[in-house]
Amino acid sequence: MTPPTSSRPFQQIDVFTAVPCQGNPLAVVLDGTGLDDARMQRFARWTNLSETAFVLPPTDPAADYRVRIFTPGAELPFAGHPTLGTCHAWLAAGGRPKSPERIVQQCGIGLVTLRREAAGGAPGGGRLAFAAPPLARSAPSPSLLAKVARALGLEAAQLIAAQVLDNGPVWLGLLLDDAETVLALQPDHRALRTLGVKVGVAGLHAADETPLLARRSNREARAFAHVAAVSASAASAGAPSAPEAATAAAERPALEVRAFAAPIGVDEDPVTGSLNASLAQWLIAEGHLDERYVAGQGRCLGRDGRVHVARDAQGQVWIGGDSVTCIEGSVRL
């Protein structure tokens, strides 16, 4: 017997972009009350997006709302772009957080704090950012690493570092020799599915490929060179003003990221908040990146996502991104 359906408020949000169709889309059912696991999973399979979120009343008094997150193949305890997109949709639908300074989401890993950010990462603006959950990381087994490298078509010299990253979702994180290597990958998704491992790859863009000591100790010189290069390029094209050039420089990614998640039914995810969170915690701690940077993701899928990363004075990493509502209405479930 077919279960009864009802009309439920629905939004589709594009996350990690301010421009529709350039980020990672998220389906948000704003009232998931009464839906069982099977119906949530069926709808997530039908949307065929990397994730679908269902908003529910919180069971923890500290939370503003609760969310369950499904890929086409499974439920996730946490994911980054659904965290930002669900919060955006909840606020747009009239949600009112208990505190003016933060929004608290309840999900499978517990409570996740979000804040509003201005351009440049300062608290209090329109962009949302979530506090990266605690990260557990460890060295991968050499045999697994060799099999994954084979599935990605990597040569040994192209692999700089590797870690198993666990902040709810588990990723095998790989730092490659540069962004061009990341963008050129043509993975064997069937092999990755057989291995049962989700793989996140990252590489520094050319402007940031300096020796490690310089990256650690000469941050101001790097920033000056970066802005100067963008300004010079803009001037030679006869184009934008100095403020526009500075804005372009601030948005230019230092890191290129791709996420391969065949074991959960997503060959490649357009823009991935949870992976970027764990990569940031790892790569900042190891000195590969500064405490504030922008990551790009999605180019190989025709997207142009931007992930804004910042580590505050207390050592908390924040993952920020713009979101835009693309579809608003109702769905029968």
Indicate which residues carry an active-site annotation.
Answer: 51
Distance CA 209, CA 34 (A): 52
Structure tokens at 232: 């010079």
Report yes or no: 303 and 296 within 8 Å, Cβ to Cβ.
no
Enumerate residues 6+ apart whose C-beta is below 8 A from 3. 39
CA 8 distance to own-chain centroid: 27
Structure tokens at 275: 């992976």
Report yes or no: 64 and 89 within 8 Å, Cβ to Cβ.
no
Look at residues 123, 79, 74 and name the one whose alpha carbon lies nearest to residue 105. 79
Percentage helix, strand, coil for the chain under 3-state DSSP, each rounded to 5? 30, 35, 35
Distance CA 6, CA 62 (A): 29
Tell me which residue has tokens 């290129």.
Answer: 256
CA 56 distance to own-chain centroid: 23
